[in-house]
Amino acid sequence: MKINHTMKRVSLTAAVLAATTAWLVPTSIASAAGPTLVVYSAQGYDKAAVAAFNATHPGFTVTLNDNSTGPLLQQIQAEGHNPKWGVLWVDGATAFAELDRQGLLAKNIVPKVSFNAVGRANIPADGSFVPTGLTATGALVYDSAQISKSQLPKTWAQLSAAKYKGMLGMNDPTQSGPTYPLIAGLMNYLGHYTKGSTSAAVKAGESFLTKLKANGLVINATNGPTLGAIQSHAIKMAIIQSSAGYGQELTASPSIRVDYLNPVTALPGVIGIDALMPKTVRAEAQKFVDWVLSRAGQHVMQTGDPQGDSLFWPVLNGEKPANKVLPPLASVPMQTINPYVWGPLENSVNSWFTNNINNG
Amino acid sequence: MKAASLEVRHLTKTFADKVVLDDVSLSVARGEFLVLLGPSGSGKTTLLRCLAGIERADAGEIEIDERLVAGPRTFVTPDKRHLSMVFQDYALWPHLSVRQNVGYALAKWPAPERRRRVDDLLERVGIAPLAERYPNQLSGGEQQRVALARALAADVGLVLFDEPLSNLDADRREQLRIEIATLTREVGVTAVYITHDQGEAFAMADQICVLNHGRLVQSGPPESVYREPVNAFVARFTGLAADLPVEVLCPCGPRGYDVALPFAGDHRVRAHAPVTLAAGVRARLYVRAAGVRLSREHHEGIAGTVRDVAFVGRGYEHVVQVGENEIITKVFSETRHERDSAVRVCFDAASSFVLADAEGADRT
Amino acid sequence: MTTLQIGHSPNRRAPALSGSVLWIILGLLIVAPVGSFLLLATSPRLFGQGPQYFTLRFFSQALSGVTGQGIVNSLWVSLVVATLAVAMATTLAWLVQRTNVYGRRLWPILMWLLFLIPTWMMTLSWVDVLQPYGSAAALGVSTSWLYGEFLGPFGIITVLSIASLPFAYFVVSAGLLGLGSEFEDAARIHGAGRAATLRTVVPMIAPALLSAFAISFAETMSDFGVPFTLAYHSHFPMATYTLFASISTYPANFSVAAVIALVLILTTVPPIVLQSVVTRRRSYATLSGRAREVRRREFSTPARLAVSAAVGLVFVIGLGVPVGGAVLGSFLRNLGIYAAGPVRFSSVYYHQVFAPSIVGKGFAAPLMLSNQLGLIAASATVALALVFARRLMLRSSHWSQRLTDVMLMGSVAVPGVVLGVGYVFFYNQGFLTTHVIDLYKTMPLLVLALVATALPGQTRFFSGPVAQIQPSLTEASRVHGAARWRAWRTTSLPLMSRVMLWGWLLTFAKTISELPISQILYPPSQEPLSVTIQAYLGNFQLGTGTAMTVVGLVEIFVVIAAALGLYRVVTPRGWQRIGWSGVGA
């Protein structure tokens, strides 16, 4: 009886150990040999895109580091001159301009496809990155159950009117990728910036944000909580990324609508290639970029995250938005800012925001 | 297994800057019961732990049963030394039953034999009914019996005892002391037993080694250590009634001296000394309790005053003050002498020794 | 008779030999990566993060403005929280060990579960419950009066205190277990009142109290969940948040972050030094065969009910609301949404967990991977932590041992994001990747980092129980013929098995919910669960994300229950008699 119990115990332990070992083996046989192409991406449809690319391009496997824009750029910066990333694919051109300035981007990677006007406006002269789709940052997302379209402000300046006190929300640029381009766009517009020194434009933007704050501007970290604030009726409207508004309209709250003050800032989805990687991998990276801007790639982008990032305007002639909820691109008053001018200011503008708007 | 012999040569051990064992040599014959006696900090525990192999000496050699187990280039781990040990804190494994604890060292024995051996030992230490209990279900005395059974059950030639009685109350201590002394001899092993209690040492030992400050001060049978302490430390540590300043008057016979007490006029006391002393030297007189008695005769002994008296059953023990502030303790008398009464104190020459005063500085 | 005994210092050769190996492990796991990150505070050029080889300008930058405010806030909040946590922990430990309070077996287990709830989840669930149109409102409870209070120092301190309660509880509990009730009795007999008794007893468990304080303080300083959620919403900057903020803009300011990290680490030094000074003067080795039953204070029935209810409330706040809120929220169709109509419950989010709306973002593969990571990291951490704990508890006062102690404690205060980015800097150096080994963005490196982040806490966790095992128990085993391995297997292992099991489960669960390191270091296309969940939460798919969290939690609880059950079945009867202050026998 006693021996029996011991036997049972021993065999049970053995069984558990064996099962565990068997389960662990596949993980320990880890990485493939040779250099691989790693796509660093924050796009909602990136998994679908990488899977589709791998399926149609046998013999070479692309892997994916899917994260928010912040952590991705943080990793790229920490990797420095020993990069592991092959392709970077996130929203907003400002970070790309900075990478280009540091010599980290391969030049002349623009595929020979037919870009539309806004698409062309977002291609840099040295061809170091390419727009793959377009959303707008600073779209006025509002809850039509709380405020009707006719009651909305018609200009940016009106947002600081007493009538809208406590109604407006936005995101924190240190937490939300599309928010710095929004602030930079506001500075660009309010300061009538064309070229040269940006200091007057920055001042104009800061003074506008200070007025919004005095008018009860509500800051949340990212789109999620900001949309949540609208839904819980803490605020009635917010200036955020267009796709977030449309996504919400299509899913949780049908009363959400998106409107555009003149102007909103173009926020291209941008792709770029690491300049420092081996030639063979670089050729594959170019194939990936070409594929993204092909008909097949565009199709996957438009279907991979149907209620999120897929809600963009194509930058190619002949492509239409996937969902009818998006108005024609031509009807959206969109400005494009120079990422090489505004990119270097991101850090100082963001810390000003943290010190004066978010915590001041 | 047969009783083992033990040989320790020039063992030295330092912790940080403190010398804990200073060139200690001793030898124990097969089947002998050796007691290492010393105050705390004397190095006895370290010596025992070196024997066990729990501690490593810096220099010197240890031989167990004529096999070198520790030396300059040799170190045999505790499990390979064929010994067992009774710990001061019992060190019973709380997750093992009494039976499992006692049988631990017999892991390689066939089960029936192991069972027989364990039963035998449990029977001998009188805890057979507790075999299936766990240590925390036992009293302190029972736990130490288990520890004793465990050590004696092991098929070894040498058993080490690390102050095994110090955590027990007086009654149980006495009882278990007898059991250790008899059982160890019954089982027929060599024993090394450490204690700071001289009573325990004299009662149990075939041979006593007195340690002080890491040095082996004296060794020999209990009787010779008691009767002929080599220095003041041994004398004091093995129990005194009187410790008084004296002046050596003259030698009289082999190592016999007459000494004068400064407060006793021309009264002389006869005592013996382990070393030769010159006349006129300042020295100290040490007297065992057995060598002190009270007298009512005016011409006998030295004058004193009773300071305290205690009834001890077979008679009375007195504390007597002599001279200005010298105290003599454990002065036995069958009759009671009241406090503050004047008495005469006599010393028996056989239980009195005199040692040069330089050693008197070596107090502990 | 005394129960407190100083063990003899064991053989000195062993630590000297294993010491250098441990140093190398500690160096590669923690010191080098974190050190690389900290170097950026003065020398950004070393890692190509700026032009300066040496500068102090980042110190003035980090210590002023919002970042300076964040450090000040973190400091005072951590002091308050550590004090509260130790006070609550001591009360609770005393109630469980020394009184007839109800649920004496339940509370320690709940304490364990509390250990497993990350602070961000505690916060978000509370917000989910309290917010306008939240879960409480859905159940018809008005919470607006509490919501405003919750978003502020009151809520921050409450959540953090309850979150660090388990750390403090297990340490104090171990200390109290070593304190025989004869000390309390002795104090009473000598005419001391209750207050005087406390004055007598408290100093005796002072090492445990200080240890608990030190670890609560360090854990609070380095907590990220609350600063990132609750404190952020309350516009109450805290150090870990400002650290994160300074490296999440582009280009990131790693140097300012390094200064903040340095401050976080340095603030943990005084408590640990104080604690180790006090601990070294006393021993708390108590797990010998001589343990005796303690007397319990008998409350009258009404008092017993009241005290038990108060204890229960702590767990309702720390455990009931967060878990209940998450479960409820995951079934609520319109969580946090203004709705005129009736509340709608739905299981749609659970369907989405298994049929994800985002193409390619499945749930099964990440769950599987995270379980594997948890298994490997937990096993490695437990093994290493045992070795480190033994070393810390050696009674030699070698400087390297103290340094290890301080370093391990300092590491508790290293936020995960610092460790993660430090791993990038150190393990992605050109020299290392071309000439030695290229580990960055591989599974082994992620495992190393997960072990590194769990090791300091786990070592702390084991050091109490390790110290409680009398050295004589192992010595007795060696003397009675057991070779090193058998001695360990038959004495240390059984005595530590329960603690090891719980420690393993803790690391397992924490590894699965770990986010910042996983996010930075996971190998491409091999996403752990926490990263997937974060992607959903960040993609405003709150319902699906919450449902995934709930399923993940359920899975963790199932693993815990299975492991505990297995322990009961496979271990000998005697092993299960060995209680442990954490959960009892």
In this predicted model, what pLDDT tens digit does every residue of A63-87 receive, in sequence order? 999 888 888 998 898 888 888 899 9
Q: What is the pLDDT of residues A19-57, one digit of tens each?
A: 665 555 444 434 444 568 999 999 989 999 999 999 998
Phi, psi (degrees; rounded to nearest 5) at A96: -65, -40
Show the beta-strand stretches assigned E in B124-241: 158-162, 190-195, 207-212, 215-220
| B74 and B171 fall within a common domain | yes
Which residues fall within 8 angstroms of residue C20, CB to CB, at 6 or more apart? none
In A29-124, which ranges are continuous DSSP H helix?
Answer: 46-56, 69-79, 94-101, 117-121
The region of weakest confidence among B74-78, B101-105, C181-185, C522-526 is: C181-185
Is the minimum CB–CB distance between C473 and chain B shorter than 8 Å? yes
Contacts of A259 (CB under 8 A, 6+ apart): A139, A140, A141, A142, A149, A152
Reported as a single tens digit per residue, the pLDDT across C247-304 is 877 788 889 999 999 998 888 878 777 776 766 555 444 444 344 456 677 888 888 8
Query: Could you give the CA distance from residue B150 to residue C481 in angstroms, rounded to a whole number?
Result: 12
Amino acid identity of B225? V
Which residue is closest to C533 within chain A, CA to CA? A67
User: What does the pLDDT read at residue A122?
Assistant: 93
* CA C294 – CA A48 distance, rounded (Å): 63
User: In terms of domains, do A148 and A95 share one?
Assistant: no
Residue A12 is assigned to a structural domain of this protein: no
Q: Beta strand B316-322 with B326-333: parallel, antiparallel or unpaired? A: antiparallel
Q: Is the pLDDT of residue A162 over 80?
A: yes
Tell me whether residues A232 and C338 touch, CB distance under 8 A: yes
Q: State residue B324's pLDDT score.
A: 84
**pLDDT band of B297, cuts 50, 70, 90:** confident
B294 within some domain: yes
Whether residues B94 and C10 touch (CB distance < 8 A) is answered with no
Note whether B154 and B63 are same-domain residues: yes
Task: State the average pLDDT over residues A210-239.
Answer: 91
Where residue C197 falls among pLDDT bands split at 50, 70, 90? low
pLDDT at C289: 39
Residues in chain C: 585
Residues ≥6 apart with Cβ < 8 Å to A102 = none
* Alpha-carbon distance values, A15 to A8, A10, A11, C219 (Å): 10, 9, 6, 38
C425 chain-A contacts, CB cut-off 8 A: 78
Query: Do residues B224 and B245 share a domain?
Result: no
Does residue B309 belong to any structural domain of this protein? yes
**Calculated CA dihedral for residues A72, A25, C558, C130, nearest 10 degrees:** 0
The answer to whether C250 contacts A221, with C-beta atoms less than 8 Å apart, is no
Residues of C in contact with B78 (CB under 8 A): 475, 478-479
User: The domain containing residue B172 runs over which residues?
Assistant: 6-232
Say if B33 falls within a structural domain: yes
> Which DSSP string corresponds to A273-296?
EBTTS-HHHHHHHHHHHHHHTSHH
Q: Please indicate if any CB of chain B lies within 8 Å of the CB of C7.
A: no
pLDDT exceeds cutoff 60 at B166: yes
Query: Are B216 and B271 within one domain?
Result: no
Of residues C398 and B100, more confidently modeled: B100
Indicate whether C539 pLDDT > 70: no
Please report the DSSP string for B277-342 in residue order: --TT-EEEEEE-GGGEEEE--SSSSEEEEEEEEEE-SSSEEEEEEETTTEEEEEEEESS---TT-E
Q: What percent of chain A has pLDDT over 90?
A: 66
Higher-confidence residue: C132 or B308? B308
Q: Which of the listed residues B197, B232, B267 is the one where a domain comes to its end?
A: B232
Clarify whether residues B51 and B179 are in a common domain. yes
Same domain, yes or no: B217 and B249: no
- Across the interface, whether the CB atoms of B135 and C289 are under 8 A apart is answered yes
CB-CB contact of B307 with B341 (8 Å) = no
Contacts of C179 (CB under 8 A, 6+ apart): C201, C204, C205
Region C418-440: mean pLDDT is 83
Please identify among residues 102-131 of chain B the ones whose CB lies closer than 8 Å to any CB of chain C: 104-105, 107
A219 and A348 assigned to the same domain: yes
Q: Is the pLDDT assigned to residue C489 strictly greater than 50?
A: yes
The pTM assigned to this predicted structure is 0.82
Average pLDDT over residues C344-368: 78
CATH of C19-40+353-579, one of 1.10.3720.10, 3.40.190.10, 3.20.20.120, 3.10.20.30: 1.10.3720.10
Which of the other chains make 3 or more beta carbon contacts under 8 angstroms with chain C?
A: A, B
- Provide the chain A residues 112-131 that lie in CB contact (below 8 A) with chain C: none
Calculate mean pLDDT across residues C5-15.
38
Residue C3, pLDDT score: 27
The continuous run of DSSP H or E covering C330 comes out as helix C321-331
Selected for mutation to probe chain A from C69, C151, C358 (highest A CB count within 10 Å) is C358
- Using one digit for the tens of pLDDT, what is the confidence trace for A331-357? 999 999 999 999 989 988 998 998 899
Residue B1 lies in a domain: no
| CATH number, domain containing residue A50 | 3.40.190.10
Does residue B28 or residue B269 have the better pLDDT?
Answer: B28
Contacts of B136 in chain C (CB under 8 A): 289-292, 577
Residue that terminates a domain, selected from B216, B232, B248:
B232
Virtual torsion, Cα C453, C458, C459, C465, nearest 10 deg: 180
At C43, list the tokens: 């020398």
Number of domains observed in the structure of chain B: 2
Using CA atoms, how far apart are residues A20 and C48, in angstroms rounded to an integer? 43
Asked whether residue A192 falls in the same domain as residue A310, the answer is no
> pLDDT grade, residue A12 (50/70/90)?
low
Would you state the pLDDT for residue B103? 94
Q: Indicate whether A54 and A67 sit together in one domain.
A: yes
So where are chain C's domains? 19-40+353-579
Would you call C51 an interface residue with chain B, using a CB distance cutoff of 8 Å? Answer: no
- The yes-or-no verdict on residue A109 having pLDDT over 70 is yes
- Are residues B257 and B206 part of one domain? no
pLDDT exceeds cutoff 80 at C175: no
pLDDT given at position C183: 55
Q: What is the pLDDT of residues C17-56, one digit of tens each?
A: 566 788 888 889 999 999 999 998 888 888 878 888 888 8
Is there a single domain that holds both residue B156 and residue B19? yes
The stretch C491-515 carries a mean pLDDT of 89
Statement to judge: residues B116 and B190 lie in one domain:
yes
Q: Does B92 touch chain C (CB under 8 A)?
A: yes
Q: Are B210 and B67 in a shared domain?
A: yes
* Backbone φ, ψ for residue B104 (5° rounding): -55, -45
Q: CB count, 10 Å around CB of C23?
A: 15
What Å distances lie between residue C429 and A81, B47, C415, C420, CA to CA? 9, 54, 22, 14
Residues A253 and A273 in one domain: no
Q: Which domain holds residue A353?
A: 137-265+341-358
B80 and B128 part of one domain:
yes
Comparing alpha-carbon positions, the chain B residue that sits nearest to C398 is B16
* CA-based nearest distance B11→chain C, Å: 16
Q: Which of A312-326, C318-332, C479-493 has the lowest mean pLDDT?
A: C318-332
ipTM associated with this complex: 0.84
Residue C185 is predicted with a pLDDT of: 62
CA geometry: angle A322, A328, A329, nearest 5 deg: 95
Segment (H or E) for A140: strand A139-143
CB of C493 within 8 Å of a chain B CB? The answer is no
The mean predicted confidence, pLDDT, of chain C is 81
- How close does chain B come to C285, measured CA to CA in Å? 12
Per-residue pLDDT, averaged over C429-452, amounts to: 85
Q: Contacts of residue C288 in chain B, CB cutoff 8 Å?
A: 89-92, 94
| Torsional class of C144: left (φ above 0), alpha (ψ -120 to 50), beta (otherwise) | alpha
pLDDT attached to residue B360:
44
C573 CB-near residues (< 8 Å, 6+ apart): none
Least confident among A143-152, C110-119, C491-500: C110-119
Q: Quick one: average pLDDT of B59-85?
A: 93
Run of H or E residues at A65? strand A62-66
Q: In the listed set B198, B232, B266, which residue is the last one of a domain according to the structure?
A: B232
Tell whether B248 and B225 lie within a shared domain. Answer: no
pLDDT at C244: 84
